[in-house]
Structure 1
Amino acid sequence: MKKTIALLAAALLLAGLTACGENTTSDAPAKTDGTSKTETKKEEPKPQPADLTGTWKQTNSNDPNSYMEATISGDTIEVNWIGTDAKSLYWKGTYQAPTEAGDWKWTSQGDTETMAQSLLASQDATKDFTYSEADGVSWETTALGTTITVKTTKQ
């Protein structure tokens, strides 16, 4: 009986030592470049330009019921004053979508005929707009002698 137990213990010990050894019969081909089969270099995706299409609501208004809102679609940008039960045109002009990722700036050519019909519309022929992740779409607005930079977030 002692011999059987000793023989069984020796077989288990031998099996344990064999399992800890190096496997030299791997199916993976040997690499000479210092990388293992599981290491693969993944290219980081190229940053895409921001999609500015949609509605952008002012975030820095002093009154939650009175703010500016920009709508970007196709090749146009329209900005309106929004108030309680009121919506008035401030800007309508061209828009060219960003072609690269990151902060972006463009000059919009105003539709001066359309804006001339609105009492609260800008009288400028062009308006500069910017986009950044921090401020969304933004632009300067002057009313009653005061100029502010309107900052927005996409709705």
Structure 2
Amino acid sequence: MYRKTIATAVAAILALGLGACGNANDARTADAGSTSQSQTTKKPAEKKPVEQPADLTGTWKQTNSGSTDSWMEAEITADTITVQWVSDNGDTKSLYWKGSYNAPDKAGDWKWTSQGDTAAMQASLLGSQDATKDFTYTKADGVSWETTAMGTTTVVKTAKQ
């Protein structure tokens, strides 16, 4: 009789165990079906990251100077842009431009006209004589501007350092 009770208990446990497995599989299959069905009918909209205006603050070094020991360099702060002639491999700097700067408020290419600090530039032998200067920012050319020296005008292109 003792064997009969043990055999009945084992049979009951096996029956419950197999039944539970079958129900779990059925539930998973039903859930998987409803999940895939809801995924095909309700796809969340993909969000593209919002492109931010470029942060131009910092130092921008000329990339098209044609010389290894002299170039132009722009320093942009929150509200000013200062451009220096750099020579002697960086040992000598002379002011070329100092003026206003308004940071971009939109993403993409950007242009602005800087109002020059004419008093500061007049004190520099290599300072610009212009009251305003146009600057441009593009991903390809960095910050750029036209510079005229000794009758020759060139577009200075830079990269952020």
Fold match by TM threshold 0.5: yes
In the TM superposition, residue 110 of structure 1 has moved relative to its aligned partner by 0.1
In the TM superposition, residue 118 of structure 1 has moved relative to its aligned partner by 0.2
1:43 aligns with 2:47: yes
1:134 aligns with 2:140: yes
Q: Supply the AA of the counterpart residue of 1:82.
A: V
TM-score, normalised by the number of residues in structure 2:
0.76
Aligned residue pairs: how many?
Answer: 135
- Out of 99, 122, 140, the position equivalent to 2:128 is 122
Q: Supply the AA of the counterpart residue of 1:115.
A: M
Please give the residue correspondences for 1:102-117 in structure 2 after superposition, counting only pairs within 5 Å. 102-117=108-123
- Distance change >3 Å, CA 100–CA 25, structure 1 → 2: closer
Q: CA RMSD in A?
A: 2.6
Match of 1:146 in 2: 152
- Distance change >3 Å, CA 135–CA 26, structure 1 → 2: closer
- Distance change >3 Å, CA 25–CA 106, structure 1 → 2: closer
In the TM superposition, residue 27 of structure 1 has moved relative to its aligned partner by 9.2
1:75 aligns with 2:79: yes
State the percentage of identical aligned residues: 61
In the TM superposition, residue 42 of structure 1 has moved relative to its aligned partner by 2.5
CA distance in structure 1 between the partners assigned to 2:38 and 2:61 by the alignment = 57
- Out of 53, 56, 66, the position equivalent to 2:57 is 53
CA distance in structure 1 between the partners assigned to 2:57 and 2:75 by the alignment = 7
Q: Supply the AA of the counterpart residue of 1:113.
A: A
In the TM superposition, residue 145 of structure 1 has moved relative to its aligned partner by 0.5
Can you give the 5+ residue segments of structure 2 that lack an aligned partner in the other structure?
1-24
- Distance change >3 Å, CA 61–CA 25, structure 1 → 2: closer
- Out of 85, 94, 117, the position equivalent to 2:100 is 94
CA distance in structure 2 between the partners assigned to 1:30 and 1:145 by the alignment = 71
